């Protein structure tokens, strides 16, 4: 299953593209800015990156240039509303492998994704089975989680929730986003099942350790981060 990183700050468009990719048997991680995307690329192995150019924090051109230095084997498709020849040249000069101007049809994006995946398949590194943040390690093949070398037993749903946190470190994840990615359902504001599961894994991951890593951002969601102060661990 190809692993795609989608970098797009338009939430609605990001959801539409991600859904289209997943419906075509692709695994998708998303980021809303270039800085977060760069961190994810350092933590995970991606087969292809789709990025907008106009992004907060770090724009798509800067992000692409850095990726092509760090991991030149990853193909990059740029999405943008800027469609002049000079804009396209600037995109290609930054290292992009393809360029698609908004608005576009999903089938055209899929066609370009498949072409680049096939072209780069010979050079793609073996997908890592290890996720890591600070002293937490998750082995996706063995389905194990350790912290400072201590084995932590998680239920299948707790494991999937912890996996999503490790795939999105140092980023506040809303309850809605967690529900759609971990439970594959729309968030029901009348239930607190996500808070319950966060509490379950927090007790297992943090309770026996001085440094707390799983935090609550009041009114916004949850974050996996060292030294995060604006939190509630009740």
Global pTM value: 0.53
**47: domain range?**
3-123
CB atoms within 10 A of CB 194: 22
- What pLDDT is recorded for position 22? 94
> Which element (helix H / strand E) includes 110?
helix 106-120
Q: Decide: 10 and 80 in contact? Cβ < 8 Å.
A: no
Domain total of the chain: 2
CA distance 14 to 50: 10
- My answer on whether 115 and 201 are in the same domain is no
- What pLDDT is recorded for position 234? 41
Per-position pLDDT tens, the chain of length 234: 899 999 998 999 999 999 999 999 999 999 998 899 998 988 888 999 999 888 888 888 888 889 888 888 889 998 887 655 566 667 677 888 888 888 889 999 999 899 888 877 644 445 568 899 999 999 988 889 999 999 999 888 889 899 999 999 999 999 888 888 886 555 555 567 788 889 999 999 999 899 999 999 888 899 999 876 654 544
CA distance 21 to 110: 7
- What pLDDT is recorded for position 58? 87
Whether 195 maps to a domain, the answer reads: yes
**How far is C-alpha 40 from the geometric centre of its chain's CA atoms?**
6
- What pLDDT is recorded for position 127? 54
What is the layout of strands, in order, in the sheet containing 136-139?
Answer: 130-133, 136-139, 144-147, 150-152
- My answer on whether 104 and 32 are in the same domain is yes
CATH number, domain of 37, equals: 3.40.50.2300
The size of the chain, in residues, is 234
> Among the three residues 123, 142, 171, which one is the final residue of a domain in this structure?
123
- My answer on whether 101 and 138 are in the same domain is no
- My answer on whether 15 and 88 are in the same domain is yes
- What pLDDT is recorded for position 93? 74
> Among the three residues 56, 88, 123, which one is the final residue of a domain in this structure?
123
Residue 88 φ/ψ, nearest 5 degrees: -65, -40
Give pLDDT tens digits for 40-76. Answer: 988 888 999 999 888 888 888 888 889 888 888 889 9
Whether 230 maps to a domain, the answer reads: no
- What pLDDT is recorded for position 80? 81
Both tokens assigned to 166: 């490790």
- My answer on whether 98 and 35 are in the same domain is yes
> Among the three residues 123, 148, 174, which one is the final residue of a domain in this structure?
123
Whether 232 maps to a domain, the answer reads: no
- My answer on whether 12 and 113 are in the same domain is yes
- What pLDDT is recorded for position 232? 52
- My answer on whether 8 and 105 are in the same domain is yes
Surface-to-core class of residue 225, CB atoms within 10 Å of its CB (0-12 exposed, 13-18 middle, 19+ buried): buried
CATH number, domain of 143, equals: 1.10.10.10
Q: Decide: 225 and 215 in contact? Cβ < 8 Å.
A: yes
């Amino acid at each position: 299953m190809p692993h795609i990183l989608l970098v797009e700050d338009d939430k609605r468009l990001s959801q539409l593209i991600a859904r289209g990719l997943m419906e075509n048997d692709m695994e998708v991680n998303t980021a809303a800015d270039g800085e977060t995307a760069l961190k994810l690329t350092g933590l995970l192995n991606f087969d292809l990156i789709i990025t907008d150019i106009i992004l907060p924090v770090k724009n798509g051109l800067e992000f692409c240039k850095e990726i092509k230095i760090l991991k030149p084997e990853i193909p990059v498709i740029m999405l943008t509303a800027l469609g002049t020849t000079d804009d396209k040249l600037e995109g290609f000069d930054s290292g992009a492998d393809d360029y698609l101007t908004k608005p576009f049809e999903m089938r055209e994006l899929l066609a370009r994704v498949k072409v680049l995946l096939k072209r780069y398949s010979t050079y793609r590194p073996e997908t890592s089975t290890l996720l890591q943040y600070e002293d937490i390690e998750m082995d996706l093949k063995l389905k194990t989680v350790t912290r400072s070398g201590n084995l932590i037993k998680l239920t299948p749903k707790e494991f999937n929730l912890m996996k999503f946190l490790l795939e999105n470190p140092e980023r506040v994840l809303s309850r809605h986003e967690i529900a759609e990615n971990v439970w594959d359902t729309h968030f029901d504001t009348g239930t607190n099942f996500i808070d319950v599961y966060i509490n379950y894994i927090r007790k297992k991951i943090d309770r026996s350790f001085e440094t707390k890593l799983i935090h609550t951002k009041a009114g916004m969601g949850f974050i996996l981060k060292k030294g995060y102060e604006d939190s509630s661990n009740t």
